[in-house]
A and B are shown apart, each in its own frame.
Chain A
């Protein structure tokens, strides 16, 4: 059942790379229509009232090490599957992807579906690594200036993190004899490992995931990679790949190491707050729009981790409404950041496509020449800075509500991040949209119809989640209740 979901883009990747189509993007988009329909079918089959794993697929795989082929989805997995199905076609619509790029994107998509549905570490790790190589190639081959350095940095960081995570899991396997997430979660309450080993295991997994998200201070690969990658790839990296890290925190670290998280609580919260505040300050200082959006990506995922750490690390179990609010906030923020950040990269990509420049001082007075362009672009910016009525606010409100209950001082500092983000965006808006007309923006064409067809549905989705988010909550409500119960 779920296997088919993983196979569709994989087959698509092979078809695109093997046959010579006149327009490989069309083929890739058709593949995505099929996989999106299939994801919707899964949603329809999915029982939203049950919080556990559903639509399980279990086969023998490598019996020698007890690695099963085990796929399943709960609300969180479903949410991420839906997000992937939304972001990849969106990313394919930017720029002029050639055959290889389309094929690698589809290949990555397959790996993403696998990562989000695998319920056994060996399988999870396989898919997790399967996404690394194509992303590396996408940056290395199709990237802009400094692509070699950025791609290498990205690869080294992520790969070292992965190795640390693998070693940690091998250690757990040697003691506990299983790779199965559900079984390990059951054992976790009493501590998976003893002595200092548990800290090595915790540290290894933490490192692997923190690099992927990324969390301060493991974030330095990100601005370089996002800056140099072609627009579509940046959209995919920030929209979905970064979610693998957050997903891992929720799926692996929190259930398997509840005691360690509690012990390290203030440190983890501190790192999340640093992510939020420093990244937004760094964004404020950027003059390259793409780099600014990249830093804000770190900032937004920092909110996810703040909410998650706040409810898992407090000494007393948080009240059920608070932990549910924070978790629902984290989940919805994952989704929101996916669409909003991807949309922002798309906009920067449009500017770059038109004029080959993306510095905030390269443009000016755009509002006079391309009013529609500015209007729809500012919606994405307002969504990202968390304006009520748009999607970003819902997630941030819930996260702050949940984290305030257990970690009020950290939350109060994190609110600064909201402010700096607002300043960063206002500064960019002012420089781009108003002021005197510069040569670059003098005859800048307004939105073309094909661009409208891409960006307007995405923007309307931001409004929809901002005004009536209940339909998104329905996807993961039961899962949130389940996880919250696990915490209390």
Chain B
């Protein structure tokens, strides 16, 4: 049943490009809403035990070469599919007013979503890679056509980084396929790869994935890409695409090459911690609101990497929870920035300071305060649940990293408070002549999209057990978990 998310979204993409433009947004909305419904049902009433990686479909695809069309699902995939459809619905809602070449826009948007569903559900290495690379092209067009600041540079940079990561992943996949003679995730996860192979294949594969996850020092595509992208594009990038990398690292790199992972995990932790602190520090110095959010994405993805590096059930489960949580919060923050930019036509913090946004855009201010709180890791929001789980998990493996990260979290709070104060609660209101401009009201679609994400982050923050009950059993059965973890 959950496999239908892929088919519905692909079908909707084709429908959107073939039908007249006026049907585009409704088609996209109904398709993504159907995806959300399906993934909610699949999440709350899983057809099979979420602890096991259960095959849904297995059809021979290119039989002579052992390639199958194979989909499978466990708790981790369920969580990722859920966050994908949540982000997708709200991204469609936030693109409601897109006028320029509307059907093409929704076509590319739906392709990103469909490809991501494919990545999260495929259980065949070849199929996985097909979907993984398929996401790159629509991203390029979304940014290059509908983007804003420096869009061509941003689109190009993002695509080149993606292709570079893709080439490394390709090499790792080929190595695994040649050594094991199979492409089936379940078979590969049982195969005993030669330790020497693991020693070099793991870093190649993981690095390829980490580039897409925005890991330091290969993160620079993320802020520029986010800034250049249209609102929905940034939402998809932060909410889904960066997760593809982290998910690939977990599902493919760590599961296939556990010994290589254990050798390299401390380096992953080092990179993760540098990423968390460095990106937060850079965010503190940005003048463009979207750059701040872009760097905060990199910082939050650092937590995911740290959780993965912890190599125990708590750490890795926390990482998956953080992928969900950051998917929702990141998308929400970009959506709100887009909401502001659409009306004020600026994202410069100094200009925004004089615009009296808290009076002019009260809903946005309200939502932004909540989103900022979630992003800072205030208890009650999903970010806190995820980050605490990660830090407890990492404490067992890398106590020093947890100390440094703790300091980093102060920086996260600092830059978040800084943008809140500068953009919304500045006291230079009276001096600005632009203060009197009346902005177009916040539309119902925008409110609905923002509310959906806000409710989700609150729900996941107040009752994280809901997600962890699905995630932890699945992590426990994974191969790289140390017996004493």
Interface on A for B, CB 8 Å cutoff?
A: 321-322, 324-325, 328, 367, 371, 382, 387-389, 393-394, 397-398, 400-401, 404-405, 408, 411-412, 415-416, 418-419, 422-423, 426, 430, 433-435, 468-470, 473, 477
- Given the known A-B contacts A405-B178, A434-B144, A434-B145, are A389 and B167 also in contact in the complex, defined by CB atoms under 8 Å? no
- Neighbour of A398 across the interface among B65, B129, B133, B171, CB < 8 A: B65
In the complex, which residues of chain B have a beta carbon less than 8 angstroms from the beta carbon of A371?
Answer: 101, 104
In the complex, A408 Cα to B194 Cα: how many Å?
A: 15
Residues of A near B133 (CB, < 8 A) are: 387-389, 393
Given contacts A387-B134, A397-B126, A470-B63, 13 further A-B contacts (CB under 8 A): A321-B66, A324-B64, A400-B170, A400-B174, A404-B174, A404-B178, A411-B171, A419-B164, A426-B159, A430-B155, A473-B62, A473-B64, A477-B64
B129 touches A388 (CB 8 A): yes
Task: Give which listed residue, B104, B134, B155, contacts A389 with CB less than 8 A.
Answer: B134
User: 13 pairs across A/B with beta carbons < 8 Å?
Assistant: A321-B66, A321-B181, A371-B101, A387-B133, A387-B137, A388-B129, A388-B132, A394-B62, A400-B170, A405-B178, A418-B170, A419-B164, A430-B156
Closest to A418 in B: B167
Q: Within the complex, what minimum Cβ distance (angstroms) separates B101 from chain A?
A: 8
- Which one, A322, A324, A411, A430, contacts B152 given CB within 8 A? A430
Check if B177 is an interface residue, CB within 8 A of chain A.
Answer: yes
B163: interface (CB < 8 Å): yes
Minimum CB–CB distance for B292 against chain A, Å: 27
Tell me the minimal C-beta distance from A470 to chain B in angstroms.
6
Provide the residues of chain B in CB contact with A473, threshold 8 Å: 62, 64-65
Measured CA separation A174–B327 after assembly (Å): 74
Are A412 and B171 in contact, with the CB atoms below 8 A?
A: yes
Return A196 CB to nearest CB of chain B, in Å: 37
- Given the complex of chains A and B, what is the CA–CA distance between A404 and B170 in angstroms? 11
Given the complex, which residues of A lie within 8 Å of B404, measured CB to CB? none
Would B167 and A415 count as touching, CB distance under 8 A?
yes
Say whether, besides A388-B130, A404-B175, A430 and B62 are in contact (CB < 8 Å): no
Smallest Cβ-Cβ distance to B129: which chain A residue: A388
Q: How far is A470 from B63 in the complex, measured between Cα atoms in Å?
A: 8
Q: How far is the CB of B156 from chain A (nearest CB, A)?
A: 6
- Distance, CA A324 to CA B66, complexed state (A): 12
**Interface residues of B toward A: which range?**
35 or more
Within 8 Å CB of A408, what residues of B? 175
> In the complex, what residue of chain B is closest to A427 when comparing beta carbons?
B156
CB-CB under 8 A from B167, the residues of chain A are 415-416, 418-419
In the assembly, what is the distance between CA of A468 and CA of B61, in Å?
7
What is the chain B residue whose CB lies nearest that of A481? Answer: B64
CA distance A322 to B65 in the complex (A): 10
Contacting residues, chain B, for A422 (C-beta < 8 A): 160, 163
Residue of B nearest to A466 (CB): B130
Residues on B with beta carbons closer than 8 Å to the beta carbon of A398 = 65
**How many angstroms from the CA of A408 to the CA of B178 in the assembled complex?**
10
| In the complex, chain B residues 130-183 whose Cβ is within 8 Å of any chain A Cβ | 130-134, 136-137, 140, 144-145, 152, 155-156, 159-160, 163-164, 167, 170-171, 174-175, 177-178, 181
Determine whether the beta carbon of B130 is less than 8 Å from that of A470: no
Give A321 to B67 CA distance when docked, in angstroms.
Answer: 13
Known A-B contacts A415-B170, A470-B63; the reply to A367 vs B145 at CB < 8 A is: yes
Instruction: Tell me if B174 and A382 are in contact (CB < 8 A).
Output: no
**Contact present for A426 and B160 (CB under 8 Å):** yes
Q: Taking CB as reference atom, which chain B residue is nearest A431?
A: B152
- Whether A419 lies near B163 (C-beta < 8 A) is yes
Q: In the complex the two chains form, what is the Cα distance from A322 to B177 in whole Å?
A: 10
Name the residue of chain B whose CB is nearest to the CB of A411: B174
Q: How far is the CA of A325 from the CA of B177 in the complex (A)?
A: 11
A386 and B140 CA atoms in complex are apart in Å by: 16
B-side contacts of A419, CB under 8 Å = 163-164, 167
Cβ contact within 8 Å between A470 and B62: yes
In the complex, the chain B residue whose C-beta lies closest to that of A416 is B167
Which of B63, B129, B175 lies at the interface centre, i.e. has the most chain A CB atoms within 10 A of its CB?
B175
Which chain B residues border A328 with CB–CB below 8 Å? 64-65
For residue A422, which residue of chain B has the nearest CB?
Answer: B163
On whether the beta carbons of A325 and B145 are closer than 8 Å, the reply is no
Q: Of the candidates B134, B144, B177, B181, which one forms a contact with A430 in the assembled complex, judged by CB atoms under 8 Å apart?
A: B144
Residues A470 and B126 in contact in the complex (CB < 8 Å), given A322-B178, A419-B163, A434-B152:
no
